[in-house]
Structures are given as structure tokens and as C-alpha cells.
Amino acid sequence: MRLIRLLKYDLAREAEDWVDDGVISEAQAELICARYQVDYRSARQRSLGYNVLVGLAYLFIALALITLIGANWEEIPRALRMGGLIALTLVTQWVALRAYCTGDRRAGEGLFLLGNFFFGAAIILIAQIYHLGEHMPDGIFWWALGCLPFALITRSPWLAIQANVLALLWFFLQVSMGYYPALFPLFIAQSLYVLLRGRASTILMLLLVVSIGFWIEFSLSEFWRGEQLGAGLEFYSENLAVAVSLFILLYTFSHWLALRASPVAKDYAAVISVWCLRFALASLLVFSFEQPWEALIEADWQHRLSMWLVVAVMATVTLLLALPARRLISSGLLYVFFIGALITVSSSDNQDLAMYLQVATNFALIGCGSWLIYRGIHDGISHYFFLGVMSILITALLRYIDLIGDYLGASLIFILFAGLLLGAAKYWKYHQGREGAQ
């Protein structure tokens, strides 16, 4: 999937400049934008900067009022304090609802955001008045829950993001104190609903994916911890296996999503694919050293059965998605490498195996870099090309640092990398020549 989908609104604005310069006609600009499912005329009026400035202005209004109230807090009678906070919140939300219902939806959404900030401030300050601070995360939970209805009614991505961010804050505070956030899926469901029924939002989509990942991992961690004493977030070696399996599933899901007719689905697919690729390269760079493999071999794999069950379920879903997406071979190879490494580290205590796994990871990293360079040249995707080159260069640098003192080994690795890059350059020249001949 081409990464130009992520820059399609910039393309629309560039097309406007081309029309103004007489390079293309307005009809041609509309055809170019239509190819990427962008309305040329509406994109010209699209102003992210305006929306950001208005949102920040509302935020600073909220901060100014909260600061003003806080500065004179002790001088205000208790009844007036509480009544004023409630009145400020209700009036702001009423004005927002009125603006939204009369057709000015963007202004309504901005005022809803402001009203939600006032609602949070009211919770905090009223709790301070009546000394209600026994379990601090409860206040954030009620704040997030209060934002929820407005996100569902308006189906606004920004209101859903506000609720989801607060829910994540509550999630981490809860788990840090040893409590399970049982109602967190409620906020996941609202984000999913807004994504499906509201405007497109890449930020909300990524936030939803992150929220699902954290919830799955912590739920498994709580299940594996069982009746053991101790509070706070605790991850096991099995969590890493589940995380890798999740990213393979996400990668395959992105290709399945790219087959949907909806242009929004294609945009989401491109974003998910890019971030999965970055995660894969970062993970391979970490495991290109011997120490992480040694730590995994030394780890206590006490929950193998349930871990394998979760991995098997995810692998099954991955392969079912890979079949229509025509990614059966690539997804299968990823799982072969992953499951082979997982079996090795979870069932053996031989530390010598760490070196072989390190070597295999370095070869996988070189293979990924070479594949990205090939894709970048063959399909004309500059992001893939430079990502592949950077992965090879970083690998070379890391191996040089790792092999200082072993000059022969470092020289052989550098020769190998030089050969790969020269081969890529030759293929680029051949590909350019063939395109020129056509």
C-alpha cells in the first residue's frame, strides 16, 4: 500500500498550486485528488492549523478560569464554590449543545471540549472541598465517564480522544495501585463506535490500537499473577510473546483492511502497516544483541500452556486474514521464525543458543533491509528505500561496536553490507534504465 495515502491532503494543496501556476487544469487536479478519494474543493478549505489554534485557545480559556478560581479559592464561600463550578460546567455544555444543534458543529465540539475540562476541574476542586481523596483514580474515571456521552452523541473524534486519553490515565493509575480496570473496555468500545460512525481520525485509530494492546497485555498479566501478592503492573516473559503475536496480527490485518472499498479503511491500513514495520525493525535491532536472548532463556516460563493457547488463537486469526489479503506466505514465514525462536527460549536453558539466535536475528535484519530497499526501488516508495538503507547502516554500526577487537569479523560484515548496497545500486540503475526504455 502506497504511503502517499498518508499525504493525500498535502497532495490536494500542491494540486491547487499547480492549478494557480497553470501546470494543470482544475479538472485535472480534481481527477488527481479523486484517485486518492480526496475532494479537491473541500480539501482546499481544510485547515488543520485553524482547528489546532481554536482547540488550544479553548484549553487556555479553561486554564485561565481554573487558575483564577484557584487563586481566590479560600475567600469564596463553600456553597458558592460548589454552585459556581456546577453552574460553569452546565452552562458551557448547554451553550455547546445549542451551537451543535443549530448547525455549527465544529464550534459545538470545541465548547464540549471546554465543558469537559470544566467538569474535570469541578470534580477535582469539589473533592478538595469535601476531602474526597481516598482513591485518586476514581476522580479521573468519573471525568472520563462524563466525557463519554458527548463523544457518543456528536461522534466527534476529538471528544473521543479526550475520553480515551483520560481513560488511559485512569488505567495506568489503577494498575499501578494493584487494581484491575474492569470498565476500561467501555472506553475502547466508544472509540471504536466513533471510528466506525464518525469522521476519520488517524490519532483516534492509533489510540484505540494502543488501548486494546495494553488492555490485553495487562489482563493476561493479571491472569498469570493469580493470587500472588504484590501491587502494580508486572509483565512476564510470556507478555513479550503475546506482544509479538499481536503485531504480526496487526500487520496482516492492515493488508486485509487495505482491500476494503472505503478510502478511510485504506488510510488506516497504511498507517498500521507503517507502524508495524517500524516496530519490527526496532525489535530486531534490540534482539540483534546476545543479552536479550540470554535474558529470555534464563526467564521463568511458568505459563507456557496459556501463552501457547493465546498465540495459537492469534495465529489462527492471522492466517484467516492473510488468505484473502494474499499475505499467507509472508505471515506464515513471520510465524515460523517467531514460533521457532519462542520454542527455543522457552524450553531450553542452554545459554549457548543465545549466540545462534543473535546471528539469526542479524540475518533477518539484513533480509528485511534488503527487502525494503527492493520494494522502495521497484515500487517507487522512497520511505521503504530509506528505511531499508537506515536499517542496514544502523546494523553495521551496532555490529562494529559489538565486535570491537574482532577486526576480521567486522571487516567481513562491512564487506557484506557493501555488497548489498552495491547490488541495490546496480538494481536501481537497471530498473531506471528499463523504465526509460519503456
pLDDT digits over 371-402, tens only? 888 777 777 676 777 788 788 777 777 776 66
pLDDT class for 413, splitting at 50, 70, 90? low
User: Mean per-residue pLDDT for 82-101?
Assistant: 82
The residue that leads in pLDDT, 425 or 210, is 210
pLDDT computed for residue 309 by the predictor? 94
pLDDT digits over 313-343, tens only? 999 999 999 988 888 888 888 888 888 888 8
pLDDT class for 250, splitting at 50, 70, 90? very high
> Cβ of 289: how many Cβ atoms within 10 Å?
17
As to burial, measured by CB atoms within 10 angstroms (0-12 exposed, 13-18 middle, 19+ buried), residue 172 is middle
User: Mean per-residue pLDDT for 298-327?
Assistant: 90
Instruction: Judge whether 365 and 281 are in contact, CB under 8 Å.
Output: yes
pLDDT digits over 177-212, tens only? 878 888 999 999 999 999 999 888 888 999 999 999
Model's pTM, two decimal places? 0.77
- Residue 156 pLDDT greater than 60, yes or no: yes
pLDDT computed for residue 187 by the predictor? 95
pLDDT class for 36, splitting at 50, 70, 90? low
Residues in Cβ contact with 1 at an 8 Å cutoff, skipping those fewer than 6 apart: 254, 255, 258, 266, 269, 270, 273
Residue 386 grid cell: 530509506
> How far apart (Å, rounded) are the C-alpha atoms in residues 139 and 200?
30
Residue 374 grid cell: 527492493
Instruction: Judge whether 41 and 144 are in contact, CB under 8 Å.
Output: no
DSSP structural state of residue 162: H
- The answer to which of 38-47, 139-148, 310-319, 341-350 has the lowest mean pLDDT is 38-47
DSSP structural state of residue 104: -
> Cβ of 94: how many Cβ atoms within 10 Å?
12
- Residue 44 pLDDT greater than 50, yes or no: no
- Residue 423 pLDDT greater than 80, yes or no: no
- Residue 132 pLDDT greater than 70, yes or no: no
Instruction: Look at the block and give the residue holding cell 479503511.
Output: 265
pLDDT computed for residue 335 by the predictor? 87
pLDDT computed for residue 405 by the predictor? 45
> How far apart (Å, rounded) are the C-alpha atoms in residues 384 and 368?
10
Q: Comparing C-alpha atoms, which of 154, 47, 168 is closest to residue 110? A: 154
CA 344 to chain centre: 30
The mean predicted confidence, pLDDT, of the chain is 79
Report the percentage of the chain scoring pLDDT > 90: 20
- Residue 216 pLDDT greater than 70, yes or no: yes
Alpha helices (runs of H) in 287-352, residue ranges in sequence order: 290-298, 304-325, 328-347
